[in-house]
Structure 1
Amino acid sequence: MWRNWLEVYRTCNFRADRPMDPISKWLLVVRCCVFPMTFISAAIGGLLAASAGRFEPLPFLLSTVGLLLAHAANNMINDYFDLETGLDSGEYVRAQYAPHPILSGLVTRPQLLRAILLVNALDALIALYLTMLRGWPILAFAIVGLFISVFYVAPPIRLKRIGLGELGVFLVWGPLMIGGTFYATTGMLPAWVWWASLPYAMLVATVLIGKHMDKAEQDRARGIYTLPVLLGERGARALNIGLMIAFYLVVLGLVLARVLGVWVLLILLSLPRLMEVLRTYLRPRPAVPPPGYPVWPLWYVSWAFVFNRRAGALFLAGLLLNLVLPVYLPG
């Protein structure tokens, strides 16, 4: 079964010639393939906390588990409300690149709703414990994150439909997740942590922008005004390219300001991958998928996600080396 789980994790899909097992089913339902972004955000918060000399393992572990549960709940909430509001259908992109939990028959509506409630209940218990440990700011982080998660797709706000979904993801995977993990792990939140959370927040935003680029034509027809719909394809490409380049510039600025140690410049090793992604963004989208391509009709998001993994992993490696052998520019 581990091969099934690995396939779901790597591709968000499951081969039809294999028997479905319960764990693979729920890994598909929660879309575990995108969990690495949440794990990296939590790990950044933990490594920043360790560099500040205030690392406590149990709160960090609980925060990480809580964030992964919150991401799972967010994905299920998106699928539930997009179906309830009539957006998701067999013709919409969501049901084409990976199995939709309900439309594909993996679960029923009541089962998905119960899963959402269960995961949020578990998250609430973790938040309650951390609140008892650290105080009310934990609740503030949790409430703001839940608000963005629910009203990203739920009426009456529907952030995705009014061009604010990308900003919401930037805030959640950057300041909220990284800052929240730092605070839960240390009990404090200095201003420099907010700045240190920005580079990876930009990387995650590029993934969502890429996904919305892939769906822009269908979204425009349905009155969903994501940033790529508002900016047009050329503007959206320029925005994503700009954010990818800005990632390096912001990290360099944080090193020059002595917020981060010089080891984070390991991200420069991801420049070859960046060049590959930028060449793809500057070419027209292919009319048909390459052989063996697993998530068609998605395209731009896949390249953004590949870049996210490479650059995010190197950023983490740099933070770890800074912890083991701190090297900062002279003040």
Structure 2
Amino acid sequence: MSRPLILPSGVLAYAVGVAIALADGPIDWGRQAIGLTLTMLANLAAHYSDEYADADTDALAHHTGVSGGSGAIAAGYADQSLALRAALVVSGITLLGGAWATISGAIPFAAGIILLIGLLGGWVYSMPPIALERRGWGELTNALLGGLLMPLMAYACAHDTPPLRVYIQLMPIVAAALVCILGVHWADRHADAQVGKYTLAVLYGANVRWWWWLSLALAYGLPVLLAGWIVPIEVLIACLTTLPVGLYTAARLTRTNSPAPGATTMVALMLAHIVGYALVAFAGHPIIK
């Protein structure tokens, strides 16, 4: 139920924030270790709550490790009550750990607030009565949690309250996360439709490809538009090296049930941003604040 194939993407998203923070100046690696641990605990709690809430659709879906949930409940290895208990326990550990880290000064106050928002966001994403993923808001919520809040947590642990510029720098990552989650929901669309889970793939059918194409356009287009003044040229060049992957994904949208193209594009773009900002940091040219 921990979804071990998905958890590393959370580490990758956090690493994007670390790279941006490094480009702005030196960071405390001990503080980053605490921030990453708390972030992954919140991520784990979200996975358990999602397993609980999506037991109905996961029982009908094809499990790939990326889409269809973990399959643990459907296979009889666990039940919903275990998933709920795990979500509550891990959420409690995250809250207590976050409170201790914030009060003790191990992480800045801004990081503690981001952690709390992320933990709550993970719950309202899938858990009733709000269950945003069943109301057409799941894709955007998921992308903001993974593509924005996780990197922001890393940045806040390094330099306290992130400036507006960092939010803008992370918009291509949010778009890349959308490319991935749209692919996951496309793979699960038939199972989701049967249980009344209204993802964008269920609501729009094959026309969801327009949302996909828009997300891809933003993931690649924003670095082009922002290059040189908000996004470093090094990041733009690194992103452009992944363009063949993005083009392949664009060509496969709604033509395959596999979530792999979208997930691969997201991973490739996250790695590109990490490399680009790391080059800026090691070159000793901090981004203008």
TM range (shorter): 0.7 to 0.9
Query: Which of the pair has more CA radius of gyration?
Result: 1
**CA deviation digits over 1:108-143, x for unaligned, max 9?**
445434433332233224312332225543343223
**CA deviation digits over 1:36-57, x for unaligned, max 9?**
3211221111121122215111
Query: What corresponds to 1:197 in structure 2?
Result: 170
Query: What corresponds to 2:16 in structure 1?
Result: 44
Query: What corresponds to 1:117 in structure 2?
Result: 88
Counterpart among 273, 276, 279 of residue 318 in structure 1: 276
Counterpart among 69, 85, 92 of residue 61 in structure 2: 92
Identity %: 21
CA distance in 2, matches of 1:98, 1:209: 15
- The alignment status of 1:303 with 2:261, answered yes or no, reads yes
Residue range with higher mean Cα deviation, 270-279 or 161-170: 270-279
Query: What corresponds to 1:55 in structure 2?
Result: 27
Amino acid at match of 2:61: Y
Unaligned runs of 5+ in 2: none
Residue range with higher mean Cα deviation, 236-245 or 135-144: 135-144
Query: What corresponds to 2:202 in structure 1?
Result: 229
1:306 shift after superposition: 1.2
TM-score, normalised via structure 2 length? 0.88
1:307 shift after superposition: 1.4
TM-score, normalised via structure 1 length? 0.77
CA distance in 2, matches of 1:228, 1:113: 27
1:97 shift after superposition: 5.5
Amino acid at match of 2:186: M
Query: What corresponds to 2:127 in structure 1?
Result: 154
From the superposition, tell whether residues 125 and 98 of structure 1 become closer, same or farther in structure 2 (CA, over 3 Å): closer
From the superposition, tell whether residues 117 and 224 of structure 1 become closer, same or farther in structure 2 (CA, over 3 Å): closer
Query: What corresponds to 1:274 in structure 2?
Result: 246
Count of paired positions: 283
Unaligned runs of 5+ in 1: 1-28, 286-297
Counterpart among 214, 221, 226 of residue 249 in structure 1: 221
**CA deviation digits over 1:301-327, x for unaligned, max 9?**
211011112222122111111111156
1:31 shift after superposition: 0.6
SS at match of 1:30: coil
CA distance in 1, matches of 2:80, 2:204: 35
Contact 1:62 1:126 in 2 (8 A): no
1:98 shift after superposition: 6.6
